[in-house]
Amino acid sequence: MHSPIVFIDGDQGTTGLQIHERLRNRTDLELFTLAAAERKDPRRRAEAINACDIAILCLPDAAAREAVHAIVNPAVRVIDASSAHRTQQDWTYGFPEMTQGQSERIANARRVTNPGCYPTGAIGLLRPLLEAGLIPGDYPVSIHAVSGYSGRGRAGVEEHEGQAAANAPSYLVYGLELAHKHTPEIQQHAALAQRPIFVPAYGAFRQGIVLTVPLALRLLAPGVDGATLHACLARHYADAAHVRVEPLHESGVVPHLDPQALNGTNDMRLCVFSNIEHGHVLLSAVFDNLGKGASGAAVQNLNLMLAQR
């Protein structure tokens, strides 16, 4: 059997570059990308995607849909890093730790849609708690997240690292129309009955995310508290290699959350902060928006799919 051919379509963007970096020294696969002169040639791209075993699409949404439409070889499997297919029922959602059996579904899938960076943290926190019935599906969920500027792609990197970097904002809240494209993805895969309020921001650091979800215990079932929520998350991720649940932080303990703490890894760290006096709980996730939030997740999914060849 030949080494599997992995084609990265769109390897010049932030996600594609990091996937290429993670794979370039692998000896168990043949990595293929197009030369600069061929990247915008539809015929050459179609030939390349139909000649590979697994294609990783690091493209804008419209281009990702075009690439999938160009596939005529039924043996080609796809990991799409764009948001084009994340709420499509005929695509497998590429978050292996999300729920029981998800790793196996990814391993056997023909079409895998890589999660968005922000949804990875939100779904990672919420889905186990909703599945366990500890948060009702109609809870009025609000989510706030701060990402490194690389989350904007090359435009963000150029703004902060290019010639005009001195004028780049140190902190920028956006998505104020409350219609961010990640919101339907979060609602669907977290199993929320109602659309959550999602407010994202960018900071003046290259990569990393802190995402938080506040909860009022009075809106949960009687007896549900921070310890209950923490125990559920700890059980769910007990055997997860890339997701770690930190010890419960009770009232009076005020640690800091560093969005850059896990940069360069495919790991995610979850915390539960509980203020007993006020009946408030804060769920938090820290991870690399280019790691577990993008390229790391794509490689994790690729490894699962390669194991099923």
To the nearest whole number, what is the mean pLDDT of the chain?
94
pLDDT at 251 over 80: no
Q: What is the pLDDT of residues 22-34, one digit of tens each?
A: 999 999 999 999 9
Q: Which of 52, 117, 232, 271 does the annotation list as catalytic? A: 117
Known catalytic membership, residue 117: yes
Q: What is the CATH number of domain 117-289?
A: 3.30.360.10
Encoded tokens for 191 = 């199993």
Domain definitions of the chain by residue range: 5-115+294-306, 117-289
pTM: 0.94
pLDDT of residue 42: 87
Query: Rounded to whole angstroms, how far apart are CA atoms 185 and 120?
Result: 10
Helix runs in the chain, H state only: 14-23, 42-50, 61-69, 102-108, 117-131, 154-161, 183-190, 226-236, 296-306
Right CATH for 5-115+294-306 from 3.30.70.270, 1.10.260.40, 3.40.50.720, 3.40.228.10: 3.40.50.720
Q: What is the pLDDT of residues 37-79, one digit of tens each?
A: 888 888 999 999 999 999 999 999 999 999 999 999 999 999 9
- Tell me which residue has tokens 């699962």: 304
